[in-house]
Structure 1
Amino acid sequence: MKALTGRSPMKSPGKPSLRRAVQRAFWHEIAKGVPSEDAAVAVGVSQAVGSRWFRQRGGMPTFMTVPIAGRYLSFPEREEIALLKAQGAGVREIARQVGRDPSTISRELRRNAATRGGKLEYRASVAQWKAELLAQRPKTARLVVNERLRDYVQERLSGEVRLPGGSQVLGPQAPQWKGRNKPRRQDRRWSTAWSPEQIANRLRVDFPDDDSMRISHEAIYQALYVQSRGALKRELVACLRTGRALRVPRARSRQRPGGHVTPEVMISERPAEVEDRAVPGHWEGDLIIGTDRSAIGTLVERTTRFTMLLHLPRMDGYGIEPRVKNGPALAGYGAEAMRDAIASKITSLPEHLRQSLTWDRGKELAQHAQLRIETGVAVYFADPHSPWQRGTNENTNGLLRQYFPKGTDLSRWSRDELDAVATTLNARPRKTLDWKTPAEALNDHLLSI
């Protein structure tokens, strides 16, 4: 077989593996922001295979996104060669129909043919498997061969935290790394924790004349996330700022959890009359958050600065039943609880005083469409990271922090106590109202109507 094929003996392929083109199509789907399970189904493989591909490469496609150059035979061409060969066509006839040089076809039939049974038999799947296996050119990572560079990177990434005098600070006892994504609400190991970009650029400062001490930040990321690199231990990803066990594709990271905010309900679509505060009935709202997932809802009228507070009690089972992913929000400010609280509070007002509501982009108002149907209040959302678009509400929240400081449990206050604080705030004279109180300004408006 070695004399016939011109190649050294190769192991039996067994069941032909999935072709590289399928993996490439899988990573193209991942680049669109599709989850690995859905990307696997899209390219015709099982969800388990897609999850394994994503995990083994740490969420990094690297070379998988670049298509193979046209100078190499593709799998469809190999299928056509196998079909013509089975029909008894000669080398030159196959070359003519495939559009390749006869020497290319002759070499392909000889070198990539199946050798089981002691004779050459050309099959497209086996030929593709052999071609991909022989085409691999694994390059040894620089961090593997350069021990000095590897020690430098590891020291800056996972080195010990020390006092100015040099003594080590142990920090908290972190749990054992289990490969899970983004550890939350638990202690993390204290380390030097330089970012790969900081390490890569600092090398030029510390070793200006040593070209061997050079590495890109992308190479450090690949050494951490890609299992086959083997230069750095996978658990060192816990020393990165995010602590992610898998890298997040760029398109997926841009998908913010704001699917409830559509262009039709953006603040840019809000009526112009809301801006000048001439017409009462336009509100701004938000949550003030306390400890143990407690919260109080706030509603402020833009013209009179009249304030109403929403009581958001804990739901049955909070603190008793274990938390369920994508389960009901038992803390009291889930989408359904917020919709009911706002509806019950704002429908106590006359109809002309409930024109619109401008809210932050929080998921607690995901059921804004149902809220509009129940109350008739048009709901709009502010732009990302733009608190000044709800300046009246932000200022009121600052005043409320005198009664509900940060770091305190807000669930201990009853509905009557919240109403008392709101009444107190509405009885304060305001400079912007010519020293009237919000309650007086709202009463004047009602009397004028």
Structure 2
Amino acid sequence: MGSHYCHLNLDERRKLAKWLEAKMPVPEIADRLGRAASTIYRELKRNTFEDTELPELNGYYCMTAQAKYEKRRAIHRKMIVYPELKETIEDRLKAGWSPEQIAGRMRLERHPIRVSHETIYRFAYSKDGREEQFFRHLPEHRRRRRPRGYRRHNRTHMFDNQSLSHRPERVSERAEFGHWECDLMMFRKEHGKVNVTSLVERVSRFAVVFRNEDRQSKPIMEALIQGLAPLPADARQSITFDRGTEFSAWKHLTAGIGADAWFCDPQAPYQKGTVENTNNRLRKYLPRSTEPTALTNRYLRSICHRLNSTPRKCLGYHTPAEIFETKLMEIQNRLG
């Protein structure tokens, strides 16, 4: 690994100023600080205070040196130098984009001035970013950056012929378009039985959401049939569910549109991780405290439009809508 250079901090500058006042030689100061002598000389050249009108005040002052250092660093921060860039990033964060999606889309569109996702995070948690509480626009709204945790893996169990163990490999590897994952989003019990079906295509990550009046399986399957029937058969080949009783009428779905049904192992929701991830994104707009009886399919479609118009890292920063439309065109051209 290459060496990593750490800038002098305020505590080191305080010691430096005190030892300079005591006429200590620079090499000895460098040795006490564990720094190269060239670092100290560079610090004195860059951050010594000079006043042409009152030269007797010239000298090295720790607080002045720190302020000059911070000002110089700020000049190189794109989000400070280019306010219009910061405004654009802030607008996209408010629209639900992540820093990675913003940075990736900028690269894809070849913006003349662009930033990395790390630059966005660093600004959010910098002194300037904290003053305006920029972190509130980040996906997790955290006041402090948190180290990455570890994903917990659950055990899997094998069972009947509809198990994922029998699902074709091309589906598991996302090598073929037209395979979906489905789940229900529930709300607080006091709000009744109304819930929301979330449906996402595995290759494009294109999401569809609609309202259900309760958890009865047959009406849910009929809603799926109604939603997917307008698509070409190659765009609705299969759906993967969990083992909830609300999906027990899967044979009705197969008879209706000819789509295969696959089921996760018990207590293994990570096996349909695409829809689980989509649910996490939807919870930003549909928290558990939502009054579901007030939800309309028009409002749910507007949420889907926002999700499907957001670039995704796994899609090379294209949007789900772009990939979905491209795949549909390929099917139409093949059939046409």
- TM-score computed with the length of structure 2 as normaliser: 0.49
User: Which has the higher Rg, Structure 1 or Structure 2?
Assistant: 1
The structure that is helix-richer by fraction is 2
**Higher RCO structure, 1 or 2 (CA under 8 Å, sep 6+):** 2
Provide TM-score, normalisation by structure 1: 0.37
